[in-house]
A and B are shown apart, each in its own frame.
Chain A
């Protein structure tokens, strides 16, 4: 006869343990880790290119994609150390993949690890990588309804960035609706508008990252 046995532990227990290990290690070293999440084409790589162009802090980048190393090549052109993670079909990054990729990076003197997650508003929000904060990106062409359609990400994000705001003048984007929904879902999140192309809002974004770095230093 089969016997029922209670287990009561998280499905992702093994991965959560790795995430905790990463968090502890970076806490000791005083390194900030950010998990950038947004749709394909929301401007995650462009935001990083703009951030790393004239660096005011020392960064390394982990690039998550289903296939190709195109994003890593873009980041490498800024002179920033980068590792590409190909998930081969996987729709999100997991802590075990991040742990492996981090082995290939020299962490001495690094202030911040940017992790660019696989382009997707759903699954990446579900998996803890050991980051300090999730940063949610939504671009103007995607439309203002995304926060309410994908609430989980926007609720968990420490900062919400509306990207490609240089397109606002060309598109019928209800900016008030967008920010009203974000505020309702997550009143405590930083709210920023940026155009990586024109540089608008980039100084504010960089100063938020600098503030987080300072708070993380031992």
Chain B
């Protein structure tokens, strides 16, 4: 549901970077998005194609690198895939999400 706001933020920061660095056109945008961020890639790609019309990103492709969720035990340091709340090695419940929360602008391809 919030994909359009995220796309809006991507466009804003790329327009600013383009002004600073003198890019004429952006041809590809790569985002790194964690699977915990409740983003639907297809909705993101569609929002991006609509919202970039009339900008230097018009017609560019959007690539989304999905980052799987991993958890880490704060007590013994064990790491594992997925979301669970008890450490499989030591049984501690002091768990943090180690990856899967990313929402990063990773790279762009530009014409200068």
Residues of chain A within 8 A of B27, CB atoms compared: 2
- In the complex, whether A211 has a CB less than 8 A from a CB of chain B is no
Q: Contacts A91-B2, A92-B5; is A152 near B13 (CB within 8 Å)?
A: no
Q: Contacts A126-B38, A151-B83; is A4 near B108 (CB within 8 Å)?
A: yes
- In the complex, whether B89 has a CB less than 8 A from a CB of chain A is no
- In the complex, whether A184 has a CB less than 8 A from a CB of chain B is yes
- In the complex, whether B45 has a CB less than 8 A from a CB of chain A is no
In the complex the two chains form, is B2's CB within 8 Å of A11's CB? no
In the complex the two chains form, is A11's CB within 8 Å of B1's CB? no
A184 to B6, CA, bound (A): 30
Interface size class of B (residues with CB under 8 A): 20 to 34
In the complex the two chains form, is A10's CB within 8 Å of B5's CB? no
A194 to B96, CA, bound (A): 29
Residues of chain A within 8 A of B106, CB atoms compared: 6-8
- Name which of A12-20, A32-40, A109-117, A195-203 contacts chain B: A12-20
Q: Contacts A123-B2, A185-B85; is A7 near B17 (CB within 8 Å)?
A: yes
- Closest A residue to B21 by beta carbon equals A5
- In the complex, whether B81 has a CB less than 8 A from a CB of chain A is no
- Picked from B13, B31, B83, B110, the residue with its CB within 8 Å of the CB of A5 is B110
In terms of DSSP, what is the predominant structure of the interface of chain A?
mixed
In the complex the two chains form, is A123's CB within 8 Å of B104's CB? no
In the complex the two chains form, is A11's CB within 8 Å of B17's CB? no
Q: Contacts A4-B107, A7-B17; is A123 near B9 (CB within 8 Å)?
A: no
- Closest B residue to A90 by beta carbon equals B5
In the complex the two chains form, is B1's CB within 8 Å of A2's CB? no
Q: Total interface residues on A, using CB and 8 Å?
A: 31
A125 to B2, CA, bound (A): 11
Residues of chain A within 8 A of B111, CB atoms compared: 1-3
In the complex the two chains form, is A184's CB within 8 Å of B85's CB? yes
A190 to B31, CA, bound (A): 35
- In the complex, whether A122 has a CB less than 8 A from a CB of chain B is yes
In the complex the two chains form, is A3's CB within 8 Å of B36's CB? no
Chain B, 64-112, CB within 8 A of any chain A CB: 83, 85, 93, 97, 103-112
- In the complex, whether A187 has a CB less than 8 A from a CB of chain B is yes
In the complex the two chains form, is B85's CB within 8 Å of A11's CB? no
Chain A, 198-214, CB within 8 A of any chain B CB: none
Q: A90-B5, A122-B38, A126-B38 are in contact. List 11 more A-B contacts (CB 8 A).
A: A2-B109, A8-B104, A8-B107, A9-B13, A13-B13, A14-B12, A14-B13, A92-B5, A127-B2, A155-B97, A187-B93
Pairs across A and B, CB under 8 Å, 8 listed = A8-B106, A10-B104, A11-B9, A11-B31, A11-B105, A152-B36, A152-B38, A185-B85
